[in-house]
Each structure stands twice: as structure tokens, then as C-alpha cells.
Structure 1
Amino acid sequence: MSRRSKYPEQFRRDAIELVNSSDRPLRQIARELGVNHETLRSWVNVAKQAADAGPPAEDRAVADEVTRLRRQVAELQKEKEILRKAAAYFAREMDR
């Protein structure tokens, strides 16, 4: 059974960001936020591990799909340019 946190997700994200961007000690930030310093340390460690692990598999799948689609768009743009030039060439030939 998972415990429901008494802190909203956005609060935790903001607290982690504050720890990462501040030069103040973690204990001081925890005290100012009214959070146990070990709780805050745990949040920071979990966030660091998640960042080190990289994006989740579905994020990688989306990134791979975006890369594939960008390549396809570039190829289609080249084909369109070739067809545009060919159409201009044949239009000139028809005018002769």
C-alpha cells in the first residue's frame, strides 16, 4: 500500500529546485519550508537518480519518433524541391 504524501507534487518540485539553485544549506532550506531535512534530502536524491537514469522509455520512444519524422520531413522537402525544379523545367520546354 502506498502512502499518500502530505506535500503536493508541485511543492516538492519547487523545494528540489530551491535546493539545487541555492547556496544555502539543505537543513536551512528545509527549516524555512517547514519540512524535515531528511525528507527534503530524500526528495533531492530521488530527483537526482531520476535525472541520472535519463528519460523514461516512453520519452525515448517519443524522441526517436520525432527524430524519424524530422528526417522524413527533410527528405520530403528535398523531393518537393526537385519536383518544383522539374515542373519549372518542363514548363519552359512547353513554351518553346
Structure 2
Amino acid sequence: MAAPMKYPPELRRRAVQMYREADPKPVIRRMAGELGVHPEALRNWIRQDEADQGERDDRLTTTEKQELAALRQENADLRRSCEILKAASAFFAQELDPTRRRY
């Protein structure tokens, strides 16, 4: 389960929009102080928006992150299923073994 968001999505969206529309670009630390958010939080929001807009390729887009999380969950589920099937297969192979003595 993901950690709860400290800042509301609307604040995040508006902060990034303010930064992108500003000319010249403001100092992130100063802008973050004015908005009452941590500078690194604002910096990460801006970077993520740039990735989502295709302006940077050094990080995954939001869609790619969601897809990766879903694939990791599916992989974990399949591994669990595989372990259950292996255990069941071993159990039934042992039960059907004609050379096995039953007491």
C-alpha cells in the first residue's frame, strides 16, 4: 500500500502549472517557501510533469510507473500461484505413488 500523500493533488497540479507558466523561471526554493511546500517535493513534481510531457527521458512517466506497479503485482501473484501448484503437485504425486507404504 502506498504512503498517503502529504499534499493534495490540486496543490501539486497548480504549483507545477505556476512554475511552468512563470517567465523567467522562479527559484524553486523560493517558490516552494511561498507555497508552503518542501522544495524537494516541488522539484520532484516539476520533474515528473516534465517526464509526463515527454521533455525528459531520465525517469518513468506516471503511466509507466502505474504499469510497472501492476506488472510487479501480477508477477508476485503468479509466483504465489506457481508455489501453490508445485506444493499440490508434490502432494498428489506422493499420494499416487504405488510403491509408497500406507499404514
Q: TM-score, normalised by structure 1?
A: 0.51
In structure 2, the partner of 1:5 is 5
- Kindly report structure 1 stretches of 4+ aligned residues shifted beyond 4 Å: none
CA distance in 2, matches of 1:41, 1:18: 13
Instruction: Choose which of 42, 45, 64 in structure 1 pairs with 2:44.
Output: 42
What RMSD over aligned residues (CA atoms) do the two structures have, in Å? Answer: 1.9
| Alpha-carbon separation, structure 1, partners of 2:53 and 2:30 | 24
Q: Which has the larger radius of gyration?
A: 1
Cα distance in 1, alignment partners of residues 29 and 18 from structure 2:
12
Flag structure 1 segments of 5+ consecutive residues without an equivalent. Answer: 57-96
Q: CA deviation at 1:18?
A: 0.9
SS at match of 1:2: coil
Q: Which has the higher contact order (CA 8 A, sep 6+)?
A: 1
Partner AA of 1:49 in structure 2 = A
Matches within 5 A, 1:1-96: 1-22=1-22, 23=24, 24-52=26-54
How far has the Cα of 1:32 moved from its partner?
0.2
Unmatched runs of 5 consecutive residues or more in structure 2: 56-60, 64-103
- Counterpart of 1:40, as a letter, is L
